[in-house]
Structures are given as structure tokens and as C-alpha cells.
A and B are shown apart, each in its own frame.
Chain A
């Protein structure tokens, strides 16, 4: 089987399958799936939707990159969710309380966010390396604590201030803003979406063209084999987790520096979990992740149109969940089919009988 087909077929199958599934759900609930999907497609041309999709893609892309770095090392960083939240609060508080020249201010905020994310990821990393604590459980716990910590830090008597019904951190002065690319009435693309693209390029270079990337992947494939080659698995776990946390720290920055200029109660949650899904969809490849992020953003933003045709827009979330599950199943099935084909091929060449375990 061609490798390209092996790579592209599973996600395509998964998307078609999920769309079918949601179509059936729509029919059962008495709606016309064609109208619904049509409304979603036409929505892209309306108002600010296209720009929203681009912005959202950038944000999801950063989150998925953070998850993907962990995956390369066979680490499950479920904690991206908590890391970007803690980083957002810290960066917003920092940005709102210092005065620095334009440019430098924004840069300093970005650095603070990355450091805060890395520090939050350092806890599970250190626990894993020194005490052998499973990172899945510890990052889940850190997510909970992050929620509490963020809620505490923006209390009016700590760092926050009350504005109307909303509690938020002090506004970051305009020196710390990152200007966007305006498209008039169609909205403004966040300037930091470019940062997402840069991170993607950096990720590709790091993974494929540096010694560190090789060591990371080798260690993720087999830590014992890597250890025999002189690579310390513990060191790799630590670095991968810190790097993942640092990138996760940047997830909320496009929104905070480009539009909100503050961390408030309406801060969007769940991006970390979407990041996991997108990294899986894109198989940790920077290009694949970009497509996955685009799909996610499209579903999110054009799903808003569904309310107009009388369909609850939450069907989009079902679709996203179905895509993740079916894409991993599809990858596995394709892998088994290819393995069986390979076994048959080798069997024919060597003249032995049909090998066992040939069926997928």
C-alpha cells in the first residue's frame, strides 16, 4: 500500500464516518442534514466567520503542537488545559502591572507566559522523573488546581478588579498589545497567529533536523534502546514536558494580547483537550496538525449558523468527538490491514504458508 494513502485515508474515512453519524442523528431529531451542512458552509462567507476561523486555527494549532511534543516522547500531556490557563493569568497580571516600551512589553509578556506554562508542567515532569508518578493522573490533577488557582488570583482582593458583572485582571496597557491584520468589517486576524505558524516551522525543524529531535523521537520509540545509545530517558521526559508546557503557555496569548488585553471570567476552556484531539488527528505532523486545527476551527465557528436552521449547534461537539474516536480506530485498522498485507507479501516471497493473524 502507498504510504500517502495510508496517511490520508484514515482521517478522510473518519471525517466521512462522523459526518454520516451526525447526519443520522440529525435525521432522527427531525432536521434535514443537508440544510444543516449547507448552512455551515455558507456561514464561512458571512460576517467575521472566516477571520474567526483563522484566529481559532492559530490558537488550536499552538495547543496541538504542545500536545504533540509530549506524544513524540510517548508522554500524555493532558495538562495543556491547566498550563495555558495558569500561564494566561500570570501573563495578564504581569502585563497589567509593569510598564515597558512597546514591543518589549509584549515580548516580556510572551516570555512570562511560556515560563509560567513550563513551570506548571514542571511539577508532573519532576514527579514522573523522580517518583515515577504517571503523568496522566498528575496532569489531570494539575488541571483542577489550575482552575482553582486562576479563580483565586483574579479575586478582587488579590490581583483582579470588578468590572460590572465580570471579574478580570487589570488591563494590559497598549504598549503590550500585539497589533492584528485588519480586514475591515470582516474582522481582524490576531498578529500572534503568525507566531503559531512560526512555532509550527520551529517544531518541524526541531523534530526532523536537530539532534535533540532525533533523541526525543528515539527515546519515545524505545527508551531502553535510546538509553543504550547514550540518551537519558529521564532528561528527555523533563525537557519534553517543559517544552510542551512552555508552548502550552502561549495558547491564550493571541486572544489576550490581540483582543481581550485581560484575563476574565469568560476565559475559554477546553482548548487543551481539543489540542489532544487535533494532535491525534494530525499524527503529530506539523502539516497534519494544521489541517486538523483548521477543521476544528471551522466546525466551531460555522457551527454557530446551525442555530439559525433550528439545529442545536452542540451537534458539532458530537462530530468532533466522533472524529477523534473514529480517526484513531481508522489508523489502527489501516495499520493492521497493511501489516497483514506485508505478512502475506513476505509469505509469498519466502514460499511459506499463509501466516497466522492475517485477518484484521
Chain B
């Protein structure tokens, strides 16, 4: 398998569509998207009678649950932009959780953060050695790192945590970060939310949710998104790093040390995934390290990155969506998640109108069918079983991939094995 140069992970890509003239800059499209999402949620919550959709509690939980996904996704973004597919995010994240707990219970949350990054980076280093130096298939190495990460942490917890916590699957309690709230703002928004006014209360609830009880880790994670964008898209270093993911041979011909850039990217990727693990351990709802704590969030992070078309902004949107569904489910159960179906029907209705105006009959018909199915589900069920809602992100990812995979564009040399000097 590793003997063939073709790689199964490079999906057949279509030629990107001819460049249309961009009417709006990226940030304003994003703002319109956010505004649209808020209007949609607020309408849904008003029509279905579920204020929880936009309540403070839901959004606070959503933010906490989105963090690990966001960080893992950022990790994936760094690696894949340099052309290394990182399925091993899950394993690096697991190593991060262990590292965070080990340093955290002894020296506090900041040490936990650093240690998690180091442990994750070690996983990244291993992935880099296997894929970059030895040219092992990226998926194979990733799967191996996932096995290794899980095994290593189990071994280390039995060895080190068991005498302390009397449970080989759990660490001693880890102290958390102090949280900060925007003091005056939070109360004022709370008043607004309590008035239950259409629209305004919803916005107030959402804003209060993401400005109350914010930990330094949250701030760091949020800052990492624009920071990643600036580093990768606005610096010489980033340009070179991305060129390794698009066309390593060309990069090499321009004197870029491709191996070095790939190593750096994958190690940073591991560190970010490790911090994502720390976000789980340092979540106020968790005592500390718990075996199986990551629950496939590394994979979801990867999905969020693909969802976001290998861009930091889109990744943020994907992580927010997945975190939100998770938070909603955790705070208010399957009934409220079902209300999201209603919201999806509304969204599809808008899409139908737009597609009809643009005279795209096929996609309009497709959206009508989708809306009908979703409405039927909403209408015929009382409550979504909690077993299934937990896996809503997986389903959403599949649907998005099925519908939009032609428009998503991975870095051109993503997953391709590169060897120095092969281009001559």
C-alpha cells in the first residue's frame, strides 16, 4: 500500500469553478451568515415555543463543547494545509487529555495547558516522522497513532493515576481556570433575556451565553482562529507552508525546505489537538481525565475542518454548529433538538425560494424533498432519542459532504507522499 504513489485519501477533485467576481469581502459574508443564523434560530424558537434554543445556558454549554472540536479542527487545518492528512488527531487529543490531567492536578491549569500541548506535539512529531521522513501512508500512520495514543494513556493512567484515584480510568480532580464574565453587560443582557421579547431576547441570550463564565482557555482558542488565518495567509511563513500542501515540488524548486515546513505544521497540529484535549479536561463539568473522554471529537474536528472548506472561518462555523447541537442536547434534551429540524425546514424553504429565483429547478426540487422529509420527522416524532442526537454531527457531516463535496477544495497535494528531489 505504501508502495504505490497514488493515495486513496485524495478524493477525486473537480476543477474549481471559474472565478466569479467577489462582491463582498469574506468578513462581511461571515457577518451576514451569523446574522442569518440568529434570525433563523430566533424565528424557530418563537414558532416552536422552545426558548432554550437561544438561552444563555445552552450557548454557554455549546461554547464549552465547541472548544475541543475547534482546536482539533485547527490542528487538522495546520497539518492538511501543509499536505499531511491527520487522522491521528484523535490519538493526539487523547494524549493531550492525559498530559493535561497529569500536570494539572499537580501544578494547576496553566501547566495543564502546556503539558497537553507538549503531549499532543509528541504525537504530532511521531506522525511527522512516519509520514514525512519515511513516506508512510498518512491514513495508516494516523490510525496507528490513534491506537498508540489510546494504549499509552491507558498504560500511564494505570501506572500513575490508579494509586492516587483508586480508579485506573480516572485522574485525580484537576483544578480549573477562573472564569471571567463581562460584569455589567452580563446582568443587563440577563434582564433583556428575561423579558422574552422576540428577537431582542434571543440575541441577548446568545450574547450572554458567550460572554459569561469565559475561561482564559476559551479566549485563547477563539484568538487562535484569526491568528491561524493571519499566520497562514498573511505571512511569508504561511505562504510557504501552504505551498507545501499545494505543490511541494514547486515549493522545493523555490528553495523551500519542504520537510522542515511539514514537520513544523504537523507538530503544531499535534499541539493544537493536545490543547483540544486539555479543553475537555479543564471543562468545568468534568472532574479531570477520564478514559474514552474524547469520544471521537478528534474525528469531529476533522469533519468540522472539511465542513469549513479547509479555512479557519468555515472551521469556526462548523465547530460552532457541532458544539451547539451537543450543548442543546445536553442542556434540554431531544425535544429541543427536534425543534432544530423545524429550523432546518425554514432554512430549506429559503433555499427553495432562492433557487427558484435563480431558475435552478433541480436543486430547488431537491431542497423541497429534503424539507418535506425533515418536516415529516419533526411532525411524527415527539422526541429524538438521545442515543441518536449525540451523533447528529456525524450525520450532518455526511449530508454536507454528499451535497457540497464538489465545491469543497482540499489543498492540492493533501495526503500525497512527497520525497525530496522527486520532481526532477
Contact = CB atoms under 8 A, between A and B. Distances in A.
A324 B12 CA distance: 28
B151 A328 contact: no
Contacts of B299: 140-141, 144
Given A137-B306, A141-B394, A312-B168, A132 B11 contact: yes
B387 A152 contact: yes
B87 A138 contact: no
Contact of A144 (B6, B130, B296, B419): B296
A149 B390 CA distance: 10
Contacts of A25: 155
Mostly, the A contact residues are helix
A76 B10 CA distance: 11
Given A137-B302, A312-B159, A335-B3, A131 B147 contact: no
Interface in B368-412: 385, 387-388, 390-391, 393-395, 397-398, 401-402, 405-406
A260 to B, nearest CB: 21
A102 interface: no
Interface string B134-163: 111101110111111111101100110000
Contact of B140 (A142, A322, A328, A357): A328
Contacts of A321: 144-145, 147-152
B25 interface: no
Interface stretch (A56-64, A177-185, A273-281): A273-281
Interface string B279-314: 000000000000000001001001100100000000
Contacts of A76: 8-9, 139
A232 interface: no
Given A136-B9, A151-B387, A332-B134, A273 B146 contact: yes
A145 B391 contact: yes
B148 A325 contact: yes
Contacts of A75: 8
A144 B294 CA distance: 13
Contacts of A266: none
Contacts of B4: 74, 221
Interface string A120-141: 0001000110011111111011
Contacts of B393: 144
Given A127-B398, A135-B8, A328-B137, A318 B388 contact: no
B391 A144 contact: yes
Nearest to B397: A141
Contacts of B143: 78, 273, 276-277, 324
Nearest to B419: A357
Nearest to A31: B159
Interface residues of B, number: 60
Contacts of B155: 25, 312, 314-315, 317-318
B195 interface: no
Contacts of A47: none
A123 B402 CA distance: 10
Given A317-B151, A333-B134, A132 B12 contact: yes
Interface string B188-209: 0000000000000000000000
A337 interface: no
Contacts of B18: none
A322 B148 contact: yes
Interface string B8-29: 1111111000000000000000
Nearest to A152: B387
Contacts of B346: none
B390 A148 contact: yes
B1 interface: yes
A331 interface: yes
Contacts of B151: 314-321
Contacts of B406: 131-132
B126 interface: yes
Contacts of B152: 317-318, 321
B235 interface: no
A353 interface: no
Contacts of B165: none
A16 interface: no
Interface string A260-299: 0000000000000100110010001000000000000000
Interface string B260-277: 000000000000000000
Interface in A139-192: 140-145, 147-149, 151-152, 155
Q: Which of A142, A148, A276 gathers the greatest number of chain B CB atoms within 10 Å?
A: A148
A138 B394 CA distance: 9
B11 A134 contact: yes
Contacts of A329: 130, 134, 136
Given A74-B6, A155-B387, A277 B398 contact: no
A99 to B, nearest CB: 29
A350 interface: no
B2 interface: yes
Contacts of A132: 11-14, 405-406
A325 B128 CA distance: 12
A356 interface: yes
A152 B385 contact: yes
B421 interface: yes
A71 interface: yes
Contact of B6 (A131, A222, A333): A222
A257 to B, nearest CB: 25
Q: Which of B130, B302, B394 gathers the greatest number of chain A CB atoms within 10 Å?
A: B394
A280 B398 contact: no
Interface of B: 1-4, 6, 8-14, 87, 126, 130, 134-137, 139-141, 143-152, 154-155, 158-159, 168, 296, 299, 302-303, 306, 385, 387-388, 390-391, 393-395, 397-398, 401-402, 405-406, 419, 421-422, 424
10 contacts: A136-B139, A144-B393, A276-B140, A277-B144, A280-B1, A321-B145, A321-B152, A331-B3, A332-B2, A332-B136
Closest 4 CB pairs of A and B: A317-B151, A321-B148, A312-B158, A148-B391
Interface of A: 25, 29, 71, 74-76, 78, 123, 127-128, 131-138, 140-145, 147-149, 151-152, 155, 221-222, 273, 276-277, 280, 284, 312, 314-322, 324-325, 328-329, 331-333, 335, 356-357
Given A137-B303, A318-B151, 8 more contacts: A134-B9, A137-B306, A148-B394, A312-B168, A317-B151, A328-B137, A328-B140, A356-B424
